Amino acid sequence: MQRLTPLPAGLHAQSACGLATALLGRLLVHAGPDGVSGGIIVETEAYLSRADPGCHAARGMTPRNAPMFGPPGRAYVYLVYGMHCCLNVVAAPEGVPEAVLIRALEPILGLDDMLRRRGVSSPRDCCSGPGKLCRALGVGLEHNGADLTRPPLFIADPPGGYSAPEPGEIVTATRIGLRPGAGDDLPLRYYLKSSPYVSRR
DNA sequence: TGCCTGATTGCCT
DNA sequence: GGCAATCAGGCAA
């Protein structure tokens, strides 16, 4: 296995829209106490600051969403439905609360460990959802605010190198799980057309 | 202080 | 396809 080098913070210092597509095809890695786990990012959603009613930061800063206001390249992890964690990558310059939700991965590193944590046997069911991939990688609230440009939790180019997806390979769609009127009609979800690992077609 | 809801998942029918 | 699980954050009182 070649050495995995975290991508620099400069990549994240752009709008969540741009970062959401720039992250497709990248490798999300967690070098945890149980070993290294990771997968290729195949689905993302952008959350855009105050003008976006679906964004947690739309009503200003609270203790929960504070990481979104921090420097780019950090993790924003929160609990939904009282039991599932969702991992976001903070985007935009410090003070601008934008983030990209990682919704699905194609598992490639530590597959057996991830399947065990998930309690499933199919790689397709391993990381096909924001709550699923956090469980699979062993990511939890303790990673809230973590620096994603350095181990143990980081984003890198995949083994063999990164090649940007063809424009026709990226599908743009509406975001999932938002209330009507909360920005559910905005085309801010992106996924790889040919990937069988996305959460929903 | 109390009530309500959610950037989901998995089990049951 | 429908719905329960489960609890912290956010808001009203």
Mean pLDDT by 10 residues, chain A (201 residues): 87 98 98 94 95 94 96 97 97 97 98 96 97 97 97 96 96 95 94 96 83
**pLDDT number for residue A34:** 83
Nucleic strand B within 7 A of Cβ A178: yes
| Contacting residues 126-145/A vs strand B (CB within 7 A) | 129-132
**pLDDT number for residue A81:** 95
Sign of the C-alpha dihedral, residues A80, A156, A104, A108? negative
Q: Which nucleotide is nearest to A76 (CA to C1')?
A: B7
Nucleic strand B within 7 A of Cβ A151: no
Q: Which nucleotide is nearest to A60 (CA to C1')?
A: C10
Q: Which nucleotides of C are covered by protein (CB under 7 A)?
A: 5-11
State the pTM of this model: 0.96
No. of H helices and E strands in chain A?
Answer: 4, 9
> What is the distance in angstroms measured between the alpha-carbon CA of A120 and the sugar C1' of C4?
21
Rg from Cα positions in chain A: 15
A105 vs A43: CA distance, rounded Å? 7
**pLDDT number for residue A2:** 59
Q: Which nucleotides of B are covered by protein (CB under 7 A)?
A: 5-10
Q: Which nucleotide is nearest to A135 (CA to C1')?
A: B9
**pLDDT number for residue A1:** 55
Nucleic strand B within 7 A of Cβ A67: no
The protein residue nearest C7 (Cα–C1') is A82
Question: Which pair of tokens denotes residue A31?
Answer: 């070098």
